[in-house]
Amino acid sequence: MIEEQQRSRADLGRANRRNVLAEILYHAPIARTEIANNTGLTGASVSRITRDLINSGLVVESSTSLPQNRSGRRFVQLQLNAHGAYVVGLSINAFSQWVSICGLDNKIIAQEQLNLESVDDPYDVLEQTISKTLQLLDEHEIDHNKIIGGAVAIGGAVEPNSGKLLFSTTMDWGEMEIASIISERLSFPICVETIPNALNLAETRFGIAKGHKNVVMINASLRMGASLLIDNQIRRGVKNSAGLIGQLKLQNANPTGTEQMHLNDIAGGIAVLKKIGETSYTSGKHAAAALLELKHRCIKGEAQASAAFRKAGQMLSQTIEVIDILIQPDVILLAGPMSSVPAYIEGALESFDKDDKSRILLSTINPAQAAIYLAFNEFLASRDIDLKTFDA
Total tally of structural domains belonging to the chain? 3
Domain final position from 52, 80, 108: 80
Contact at 8 Å (CB) between 329 and 214? yes
> 56-104 pLDDT, tens per residue?
999 999 866 445 455 555 678 999 999 999 999 999 999 999 999 999 9
Q: Are 87 and 375 contacting, i.e. CB atoms less than 8 angstroms apart?
A: yes
Domain range spanning residue 124? 86-200+369-389
Q: What percent of the chain has pLDDT over 70?
A: 92
Q: What is the pLDDT of residues 314-367, one digit of tens each?
A: 999 989 999 999 999 999 999 999 999 999 999 999 989 888 899 999 999 999
Grouping H, G, I as helix, E, B as strand and the rest as coil, residue 262 is: strand
Are 341 and 228 in a shared domain?
yes
The answer to whether residues 228 and 324 belong to one domain is yes
Give residue 12's pLDDT band: very low, low, confident or very high (50, 70, 90): confident
Q: What is the pLDDT of residue 256?
A: 56
In a domain, 48, yes or no: yes
Q: Are residues 216 and 345 in the same domain?
A: yes
pLDDT band at 13 (very low <50, low <70, confident <90, very high): confident
Q: Is residue 205 one of the residues assigned to a domain?
A: no
Query: Is residue 340, in this structure, part of any structural domain at all?
Result: yes
Q: Using an 8 Å Cβ cutoff, are 53 and 387 in contact?
A: yes
Whether residues 171 and 286 fall in one domain:
no
Residue range 148-194, pLDDT digits in tens: 999 999 999 999 999 999 999 999 999 999 999 999 999 999 999 99
Residues 215 and 359 grouped into a single domain? yes
Clarify whether residues 38 and 136 are in a common domain.
Answer: no
**Per-residue pLDDT, 25:** 95
Q: What is the pLDDT of residue 78?
A: 96
Mean residue pLDDT of the chain comes to: 91
Does any domain span residue 167?
yes
DSSP state of 146: G
Query: What tens digit of pLDDT does each residue of 220-242 get?
Result: 999 999 999 999 999 999 888 88
242-287 pLDDT, tens digit each? 899 998 888 765 555 567 789 999 999 999 999 999 889 989 999 9
**Domain assignment present for 206:** no
In this prediction the pTM is 0.92
Higher-confidence position of 251 and 368: 368
Predicted local confidence at residue 64, as pLDDT: 63
Tell me, yes or no, whether 382 and 345 share the same domain: no
Task: Say whether both 236 and 354 belong to one domain.
Answer: yes
243 and 349 together in one domain? yes
Q: Is residue 135 included in any domain, yes or no?
A: yes
Domain's final residue, options 28, 57, 80: 80
The Cα–Cα gap between 271 and 250 comes to 14
216 and 353 together in one domain: yes
The answer as to whether 231 is a domain residue is: yes
Q: Say whether both 97 and 51 belong to one domain.
A: no
The pLDDT, as a whole number, for residue 40 is: 95
Q: Is the dihedral of CA 308, 314, 315, 316 positive or negative?
A: positive
Distance CA 116, CA 127 (A): 12
Please report, for the domain that includes residue 101, its CATH number: 3.30.420.40
Residue-level pLDDT at 70: 53
262/312 same-domain check: yes
- Count of CA atoms in the C-beta half-sphere (13 A) of 217: 33
